[in-house]
Structure 1
Amino acid sequence: MSITITSAANERMRHFLAATPTAAGVRFGVKRTGCSGFAYVVDLAESMGEGDRVVEVDGLPLIVDDKSLALVDGTVIDFQRQGLNASFVFHNPNATGACGCGESFTVS
């Protein structure tokens, strides 16, 4: 399992963790949605669930569920600001396509 977090994304995630010290870590995975099939989930994890795994990246605990593992393996997570907008950006080698609005992706 390999996930890379850029320094900008790491800093942003640590900011959220510092504001919620009881969180178990940052949840990263996918959910079925959108016109292409999957969308990324990045949120604070209040607790560990059955089937969750902790992947530590540069000392940051990422919690990934078993169903998402194969879909996010190799992903690079970045955080970018463009004007008034700020968001996480994902570079996933498993994604084979995306919807026109960029909110969801497909895999083979």
Structure 2
Amino acid sequence: MSRPSIMTLSEAAAERVRDLMRRSDPPIAGLRIGIKKGGCAGMEYTMDAVAEADPKDEVIEEDGARVFIDKAAVLFLLGCRMGYEVTKFRSGFTFENPNQVSACGCGESVELKAAS
């Protein structure tokens, strides 16, 4: 029996990750998602292109898109859905996270609780 994914990707997010993987020079294995302390609400999502996975990372693969979850962020990302949106003024990844308690007004940082 397989265990459920820590995080899921929307179709748009998977498409954007695949595009980044395909166009990257030098090649990348995928994107690593993490959490760090910072911003007015206390925490920020981090995202880095990585050439290879850390053996401690959790790996999420959807339709050829590969996302690595930093082991320190797992409890904060359980049940999270990563999306990608394009608006008139910006484009970027989004996070629908059931562990989010609040967010700052500028949208750059969040307050998260560990999943129970």
Give me the CA root mean square deviation: 1.7
Amino acid of the structure 2 residue aligned with 1:46 = A
Give the structure 2 partner of residue 46 of structure 1: 51
Kept in 2, the 8 Å contact 1:3–1:57? The answer is no
How far did residue 24 of structure 1 move?
Answer: 2.0
Alignment-derived partner of residue 12 in structure 1: 16
Per-residue CA deviations over 1:68-95 (Å, capped at 9, x if unaligned) read 1111111111111111411111100000
Counterpart of 1:80? 85
SS of equivalent residue, structure 2 residue 48: strand
Contact 1:27–1:44 (CA<8 Å) still a contact in 2? yes
State the TM-score, normalized to the length of structure 2.
Answer: 0.82
1:103 counterpart residue number: 108
Report what 1:2 is aligned to: 6
Indicate the larger mover: 45-54 or 9-18: 45-54
Q: Where does the alignment leave 5 or more consecutive residues of structure 2 unmatched?
A: none
Paired-residue identity, %: 33
| Cα deviation 1:12-61 (Å, max 9, x = unaligned) | 11110001263121111212110111111223112223632222234422
Matched pairs, number? 108
Structure showing the higher strand proportion among its residues: 1
Q: Structure 1 unaligned runs (5+)?
A: none
